[in-house]
Structure 1
């Protein structure tokens, strides 16, 4: 499994010892308000087990002190190996500091140069201005608006689809 490094970060595959960190992300309402309802622990453990087995899912860590700052994952399409979806989270204390942008750039570079992926898609709630700024800063272009397509806790939200193609960033 790959480890990706940047000037301030290193991205490592999930390890069993990352459970407490993953659980804290999944129970943080300020993070989950843009992702999904907060799930019971059993469901979070199932998702965590999938992260442990996934090939291109990473914990974002500070190079200075190994502090976990978030997670980021790339899912390559089974139907078209040249396409992938990407998603990420960053702890509130690290938001607004360029951490997500740096990690996103690094994983996109990794995807384009190491996996054969030619295009990466991201889905973001229209209300998630911080994530929209991160995607656009890295070079993603909004390609579609899915009106009221995503539901969290009984509320429907517009979902925006962004895309980055190899060589576009």
Structure 2
């Protein structure tokens, strides 16, 4: 099994496993974290398990193409959220990131810290050329995280996200290996 882990001053990103099921189910069940997410609130823990089992299986491959990390608070070991890095076709040398943070940890810089760490991992370790992200146009929190991490807004995709509130436009962001990155403190 791949033992990829990334640490910063306050957090540890580690590949998820089945022991994270209850924490992930709780995260996915929060209405506030579901607001801008197309996955939806699971009907049961079994549904959450069915959703994460492919992620766990991917994390066990020799050559990872889809990393799904748990974000743990280093000071107390508590689960704070999820972070994904999906590697695209090798020819294009790019990846897409996504994240979902428990609302108890919003507005404290944890998502930005995690994204900066993932960007460093993607460019310095995986030698990627481009990393992309998207977020609903009304998701001000994610917009701030992406922009504080040095990502550049490239455009707007119209009515691409099927949210509970209806179809939402999505801002598209990216950062290149040659762009200036904002480093961790």
Tell me the TM-score range normalised by the shorter chain.
over 0.9
Alpha-carbon distance, 1:46 to partner: 2.2
Cα contact 1:32–1:38 (8 A) shared by 2:
yes
Consecutive unaligned residues in structure 1, runs of 5 or more: none
Task: Render the CA deviation track for 1:15-62: whole Å, top value 9, x for unaligned.
Answer: 211000111111111001111222333442222112212342211111
Helix, strand or coil at the partner of 2:33? helix
In structure 2, the partner of 1:12 is 14
Helix, strand or coil at the partner of 1:147? strand
CA-based RMSD:
1.5
Consecutive unaligned residues in structure 2, runs of 5 or more: none
In structure 2, the partner of 1:32 is 34
Q: Post-superposition, which runs of at least 4 consecutive aligned residues in structure 1 deviate over 4 A?
A: none
**Inter-partner Cα distance in structure 2 for 1:80 and 1:89:** 28
- Give 1:130's match in structure 2, choosing from 111, 131, 141: 141
Cα contact 2:21–2:48 (8 A) shared by 1:
no
Moved more, 144-153 or 133-142: 144-153
**Number of residue equivalences:** 169
Alpha-carbon distance, 1:65 to partner: 1.0
Moved more, 32-41 or 8-17: 32-41
